[in-house]
């Protein structure tokens, strides 16, 4: 029976949910998946850090109050975030990186990934910043160090997208995709169809925890742009930088636009897309589009995400599901660990 030693970097909603799942499901995972997880370290800029090579109690970690320096309450803990020690010296086989996304330079998450890969640890992450901004470098490091680097949760949380397209759709000839890749903006557009104003709908999305603290990245398309870069580079073999993707959002859509669309059975959606052209180049964009009633994404409402792959052999293949949420995103980390477990490249 395999037991992976795991260190959690960032202990906000996602890694805390992973600790909760470990507490509740480790025995079941042993039976169903052939491995269990032992948490040997946790670090968080706000809460501090803790290392115990014999294993920390996952239920106690999940229940710790979210107050500054809370890890100092644990026997081996400290209020300081010793990120480098936890990543390099806790004896972990796998680093679960789930810190905040920095859309400008992907830091400090990218450095956390580098430290882990350079010291021979597998990395699983839900963070789109390092992948969109430093993906090629991190993949080179992964190869050079003979480890795994998995990031299913960087697009659409635990809803399978990256591995589905890369593995299950391999050979189908994926030529492009269109996606509803931001829950907040789709929720806002849906509520506007029901008569709410833009600002009210955004406030509601914040209350429900979908929107970022500053929802600009959600409604102006910046969050989707990072996801488009990840998908296009991953699935279409592109080498896009963030600035290669033309980007606009939904803040210019008025209640009047929405009402006019409804009269003709059409719906406004924020669409992130990329397509391989005949000359092999890949063009990508993020923009609000008026979808006709026949479009595969037209029925996606509320905070749900979806992506429609355009394939040569199957036509449109569409997958929809949650694009955010604590447990939903923690599941993406589990699915990454399942992938590395079955890859044969185990610790
Ligand atoms: N704020 C994002 C959304 C979270 O609304 O989809 C996931 O990236």
Q: Is the CB of 108 under 6 A from ligand 1?
A: no
Rounded distance, CA 83 to CA 45, Å? 8
- Average pLDDT for 4-26: 97
State how far the alpha carbon of 160 is from the alpha carbons of 25, 46, 154, 169, in Å. Answer: 21, 31, 11, 12
Q: Classify domain 168-322 by CATH architecture.
A: 2-Layer Sandwich (3.30)
Q: Is the pLDDT of residue 347 over 80?
A: no
pLDDT digits (tens, 9 = 90+) for 27-69: 999 999 999 999 999 999 999 999 999 999 999 999 999 999 9
pLDDT digits (tens, 9 = 90+) for 263-309: 888 999 999 999 999 999 999 999 999 999 999 999 999 999 999 99
Q: Is the CB of 288 under 6 A from ligand 1?
A: no
Q: Kind and range of the H or E element at 274?
A: strand 267-276
pLDDT digits (tens, 9 = 90+) for 189-225: 999 999 999 999 999 999 998 887 789 999 999 999 9
Q: Are 37 and 26 in contact (CB under 8 A)?
A: yes
Q: What is the pTM of this model?
A: 0.95
Q: Is the pLDDT of residue 346 over 60?
A: no
Pocket test for ligand 1, best of 189, 220, 228, 324 (most atoms within 8 A of CB): 324
Least Cα distance to 174 among 319, 320, 318, 313 occurs for 313
Least Cα distance to 240 among 186, 183, 303, 283 occurs for 283
Pocket test for ligand 1, best of 99, 131, 218, 221 (most atoms within 8 A of CB): 218
Ligand 1 atom at minimum distance from 128 CA: 8
Reported confidence tier of residue 345, pLDDT bands at 50, 70, 90: low
Rounded distance, CA 63 to CA 36, Å? 20
Superfamily of 2-158+327-343 according to CATH: NAD(P)-binding Rossmann-like Domain (3.40.50.720)
Give domain limits for the chain: 2-158+327-343, 168-322
Nearest 5°: CA angle at 286, between 281 and 287?
125
């Amino acid at each position: 029976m395999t037991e992976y030693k795991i260190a959690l970097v960032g202990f906000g909603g996602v890694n805390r949910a992973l600790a909760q799942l470990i507490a509740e499901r480790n025995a079941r995972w042993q039976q169903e998946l052939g491995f269990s997880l032992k948490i040997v370290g946790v670090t968080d800029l706000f809460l501090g850090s803790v290392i115990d090579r014999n294993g920390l109690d996952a239920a106690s970690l999940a229940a710790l109050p979210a107050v500054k320096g809370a890890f100092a309450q644990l026997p081996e803990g400290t209020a300081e975030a010793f990120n480098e020690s936890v990543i390099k010296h806790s004896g972990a086989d796998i680093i679960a990186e789930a810190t905040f996304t920095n859309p400008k330079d992907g830091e400090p998450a990218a450095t956390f990934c580098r430290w882990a890969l350079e010291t021979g640890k597998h990395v699983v992450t839900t963070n789109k910043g390092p992948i969109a901004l430093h993906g090629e470098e991190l993949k080179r490091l992964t190869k050079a160090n003979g480890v795994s680097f998995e990031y299913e949760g960087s697009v659409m949380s635990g809803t399978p997208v990256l591995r589905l397209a890369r593995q299950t759709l391999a050979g189908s000839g994926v030529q492009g995709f269109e996606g509803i890749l931001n829950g907040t903006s789709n929720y806002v557009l849906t509520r506007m169809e029901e008569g709410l104003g833009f600002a009210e709908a955004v406030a509601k999305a914040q209350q429900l925890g979908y929107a970022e603290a500053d929802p600009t990245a959600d409604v102006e398309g910046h969050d989707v742009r990072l996801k488009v870069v990840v998908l296009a580079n991953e699935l279409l073999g592109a080498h896009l930088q963030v600035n290669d993707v033309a980007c606009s959002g939904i803040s210019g859509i008025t209640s009047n636009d929405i009402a006019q669309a409804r009269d003709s059975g059409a719906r406004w959606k924020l669409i992130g897309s990329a397509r391989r052209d005949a000359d092999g180049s890949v063009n990508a964009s993020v923009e609000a589009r008026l979808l006709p009633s026949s479009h595969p994404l037209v029925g996606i409402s509320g905070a749900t995400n979806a992506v429609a792959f355009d394939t040569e052999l199957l036509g449109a293949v569409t997958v929809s599901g949650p694009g955010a949420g604590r447990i939903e995103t923690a599941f993406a980390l589990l699915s990454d660990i399942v992938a590395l477990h079955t890859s044969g490249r185990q610790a």
